[in-house]
């Protein structure tokens, strides 16, 4: 499988697993303790990935290339973790919460993609965005 397909498959499967596990986290456990254990294990798993993706110029050289994005990513990850743990503890439905958050976040990122990263969107993309908006209305439709 090429990197193109492997990467998106990994992201999709990991995202689905993430939501399943977040919803399965015991509601009585302190979520800060849960996240401390999560990040400790994530650190070990990340260290293991050095076998597959070694730092060619050494870790020190790689660290020098980092910018503010690593700090921003850390803050975002903690926010996502806390947000979803609290969301599921508040009683949100697994499918609704995950879809709602991902669609709204994607819609927020459209102008960022266009104006900051100079991405181009087509009329088909715009139609997809409108369908996403319709989906949000349908997700919140009261029976």
Please classify residue 113 by burial: count the beta carbons closer than 10 Å to its beta carbon, then call 0-12 exposed, 13-18 middle and 19+ buried.
middle
For the entire predicted model, the pTM comes to 0.84
**Contact in structure between 19 and 98 (CB atoms under 8 Å):** yes
Q: What is the pLDDT of residues 70-125, one digit of tens each?
A: 999 999 999 999 999 999 999 999 888 998 899 889 989 999 999 999 999 999 99
CA distance 127 to 97: 23
Q: What are the extents of the domains in the chain?
A: 1-92, 93-143
Structure letter (DSSP) for residue 27:
T
**What end-to-end distance do the CA atoms of the chain give, in Å?**
43
Q: How far apart are CA 105 and CA 79, in angstroms?
A: 13
């Amino acid at each position: 499988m090429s990197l193109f397909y492997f990467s998106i498959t990994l992201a999709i499967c990991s995202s689905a697993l993430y939501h399943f596990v977040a919803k399965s986290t015991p509601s009585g456990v302190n979520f800060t303790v849960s996240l401390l254990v999560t990040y400790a294990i994530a650190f070990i798993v990340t260290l293991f990935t050095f076998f597959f993706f070694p730092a060619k110029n050494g870790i020190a050289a790689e660290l020098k290339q980092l910018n503010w994005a690593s700090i921003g990513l850390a803050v975002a990850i903690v926010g996502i973790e806390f947000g979803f743990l609290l969301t599921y503890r508040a009683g949100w439905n697994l499918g609704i919460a995950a879809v709602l958050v991902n669609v709204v976040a994607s819609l927020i990122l459209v102008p960022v993609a266009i104006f900051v990263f100079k991405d181009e969107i087509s009329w088909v993309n715009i139609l997809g965005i409108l369908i996403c908006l319709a989906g949000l209305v349908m997700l919140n439709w009261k029976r």
